[in-house]
């Protein structure tokens, strides 16, 4: 029991809100980071590659709460098109939650894109410079086939690993972001429980964070083994 209520009853709505926040951030970040990472590798040393690399370094160097503050200044104070505080009730639909949580989703997406795109670009460049890609070029294979049929599968395992780890790290960053935007998720609940010394709630949230982190790590290893051509079983 916690606050004269079952812990599960307290955690359930907050857990759903946090998973919605992280889930939609991932839906935005993963396709963008993979696509831009491949494009940056293919157009190496171009203006797009240099500009995107500079933005990636900035996004990785700037703390999440600073990015959140900048977005609040731009979209909430200057442009006044997005709410600075995520006011969500239990009766809100998913669309209403997304409208009120646009800024925290944007912050988490930016952080995730920076990490995944950097690894995707580096991995693709390494594969494109490998010998078997050069052999394919000498044999007259089209560049698009070399990139998407041969190079991409070999470059996916590192990107999948960092994607899973980025998702896991979002659970740590979501505590700060939820606090900045007053988003009613698991992170805000954890901070409030620590302040109130509500140990059952703190223990439950720590277990959820830990289990999710371990589960995503195992999922990353499994996905990498499936995506890596060198680890696939050769069928005769």
pLDDT means over runs of 10, the chain (236 residues) = 71 85 89 91 88 89 88 90 78 75 90 90 86 76 78 82 80 80 85 84 87 82 69 45
Contact 174, 108 (CB under 8 A): yes
Q: What are the pLDDT digits (tens) for 24-49?
A: 888 999 999 999 999 998 888 889 98
Residue owning tokens 């698991």: 186
Sequence-distant (6+) residues with CB within 8 A of 137 are 143, 146
Contact 116, 159 (CB under 8 A): yes
In angstroms, rounded to a whole number, what is the distance separating the alpha carbons of residues 202 and 198? Answer: 6
Question: Residue 3: left if φ>0, alpha if ψ -120 to 50, beta else—which one?
Answer: left
Sequence-distant (6+) residues with CB within 8 A of 210 are none
> Structure pTM?
0.83
Q: What are the pLDDT digits (tens) for 167-182?
A: 877 776 688 888 888 8
Paired tokens of 169? 């790290």
Paired tokens of 149? 């049929």
In angstroms, rounded to a whole number, what is the distance separating the alpha carbons of residues 122 and 143? Answer: 18
How many other C-beta atoms lie within 10 A of the C-beta of residue 168? 20
In angstroms, the Cα distances linking 158 to 34, 128, 148, 164 are: 12, 15, 16, 10
3-state helix, strand, coil in the chain (%, to 5): 80, 0, 20
Q: What is the pLDDT of residue 234?
A: 41
Partner residues linked to 137 by β-bridges: none
Residue owning tokens 């079983």: 233
Contact 122, 180 (CB under 8 A): no
Q: What is the pLDDT of residue 147?
A: 81
Contact 183, 85 (CB under 8 A): no
Q: What is the pLDDT of residue 33?
A: 92
Contact 151, 133 (CB under 8 A): yes
Q: What is 7-231's CATH topology? A: MetI-like fold (1.10.3720)
Q: What is the pLDDT of residue 3?
A: 60
The angle formed by the CA atoms of residues 50, 52 and 55, to the nearest 5 degrees, is: 110
Sign of CA dihedral 129, 134, 137, 141: negative
In angstroms, rounded to a whole number, what is the distance separating the alpha carbons of residues 11 and 190? Answer: 10
The angle formed by the CA atoms of residues 211, 214 and 220, to the nearest 5 degrees, is: 135
């Amino acid at each position: 029991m916690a606050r004269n209520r079952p812990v599960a009853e307290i955690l359930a709505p907050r857990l759903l809100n946090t998973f919605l926040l992280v889930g939609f951030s991932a839906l935005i970040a993963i396709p963008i980071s993979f696509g831009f990472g491949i494009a940056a590798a293919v157009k190496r040393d171009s203006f797009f590659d240099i500009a995107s690399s500079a933005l990636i370094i900035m996004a990785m160097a700037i703390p999440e709460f600073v990015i959140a503050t900048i977005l609040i200044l731009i979209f909430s104070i200057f442009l006044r098109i997005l709410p600075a505080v995520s006011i969500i009730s239990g009766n809100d639909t998913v669309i209403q939650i997304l409208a009120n949580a646009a800024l925290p989703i944007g912050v988490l997406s930016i952080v995730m894109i920076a990490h995944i795109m950097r690894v995707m670009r580096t991995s693709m460049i390494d594969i494109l410079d490998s010998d078997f890609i050069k052999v394919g070029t000498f044999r007259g294979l089209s560049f698009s086939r070399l990139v998407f049929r041969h190079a991409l599968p070999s470059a996916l395992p590192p990107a999948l690993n960092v994607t899973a780890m980025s998702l896991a790290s979002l659970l740590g960053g979501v505590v700060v972001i939820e606090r900045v935007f007053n988003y009613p998720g698991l992170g805000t609940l954890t901070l409030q429980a620590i302040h109130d010394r509500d140990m059952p709630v703190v223990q439950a949230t720590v277990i959820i964070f830990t289990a999710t982190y371990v589960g995503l790590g195992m999922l990353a290893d499994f996905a990498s083994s499936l995506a890596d051509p060198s680890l696939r079983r050769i069928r005769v």
